[in-house]
Amino acid sequence: MEVNQPVPLFSAVAANAGIDFSEPLMRVVNRHWYILGEEVKSFEREFADYVGATRCVSVANGSEALEIALLSLGVGPGDRVITVANAGFYSSTAIRAVGAEPVYVDVDDESLTMCTESLRNALFTPVKAVIVTHLYGRMADIENIYEISKAAGAAVVEDCAQSHGARLANGQCGSFGDLACFSFYPTKNLGALGDGGAIVTCSDELAARLLKLRQYGWSTKYHVTSASGRNSRLDEMQAAILRVKLPLLDQWNEQRRAIAKKYCEAFANLPVKLPTSLGDDYVAHLFVIRVEDRETFTTYLSKQGIATDVHYPVPDHRQTAYVLKETFELPVTESISSQVVSLPCFPGLSDAQTNRVVEAVTSYFKQRV
């Protein structure tokens, strides 16, 4: 590799290297059935089996997965839904889209996922649902969160958009909540060649509602029996691609973890805060560190040809599009929003590229001594 060749934050070319997509794509073309056909049905079965759920209902994208999941639970105007404010406004968008109000709780300072104590405090006032985001590929404390939420009468929706394949001893990400939502955006651990999403559940009743809601509210063709129906369908092309990629997901996650482990070993003595888990509960969707003086740090890496990004710079409760009905004190969320930086970490990132990232980060701190 040329020394001056940039290291991207993500490369679809590298991540998809060696995969022949021609056969599944031509299978769809030759079948002449492009929406809700055999590829979608097969992928839904295979993905449900992979996650450990009984039902999977695919949809157009991850954001609509969250929205439709909330609708299936009966969430609507006047309802309150708990979520975190450090995850890019995606859950907030879904909550607003169904007419509900977001209730923001703080995150744990180590995992950067939902803080159980903050959740307990928020549940003193009734809420309809809790959206738990498994952020950066790290699973939240989902078993305790589920127990706390259900004791308060709240449904639990897992947001698994960044955590495909993460596991705990008692189950896989997406198998703990009443519903779990996935995105198949191309940069995700399991990414399509366009947009896509899915909702998994072990409830036949919820699955039946989801099937209606994703297609106009139909019970049968042209018979609208459910209000708030959407047009949100995964197409056959994307389903066929995802079926090819799903068997490769676990090995890709291992590659991500290997890169994350190398970074953690190299940065162990630097003044940065690193991910706190490299186990099966972390699939390294993003390798996020926390640094002081982030702008100087990212500017230096950019000059070295290393791409970075910030996930995410503005907490949801500080966004200006909506007027909040409540005031939220989220000290950890606000603190980390000025510190988090994402470094390149994806399948296909070469050893040479990984070494360049390590060298750039370590040299930044050496020159500041």
Structural contact between residues 42 and 261, judged by C-beta atoms closer than 8 angstroms: no
Average pLDDT (134-148) is 98
Any idea where the domains of the chain sit in the sequence? 13-247, 249-366
Residue type, 328: F
Q: How far apart are CA 203 and CA 200, in angstroms?
A: 9
Half-sphere exposure of 317 (CA within 13 A, CB side): 22
- Classify domain 249-366 at the CATH class level: alpha beta
Pick the CATH number of 13-247 from 3.40.1120.10, 3.40.1260.10, 3.40.640.10, 3.20.20.70: 3.40.640.10
pTM over 0.75: yes
Common-topology check for domains 13-247 and 249-366: no
For 231-294, the DSSP string reads: B---BHHHHHHHHHHGGGHHHHHHHHHHHHHHHHHHHTTSSSB--S--STTB--SSEEEE-SSH
pLDDT value of position 1 = 40
The confidence band for 368, taking pLDDT boundaries of 50, 70 and 90, is confident
Structural contact between residues 249 and 165, judged by C-beta atoms closer than 8 angstroms: yes
Average pLDDT (197-205) is 98
Positions annotated as catalytic residues are: 188
- Cα-to-chain-centroid distance, residue 294: 24
pLDDT value of position 217 = 96
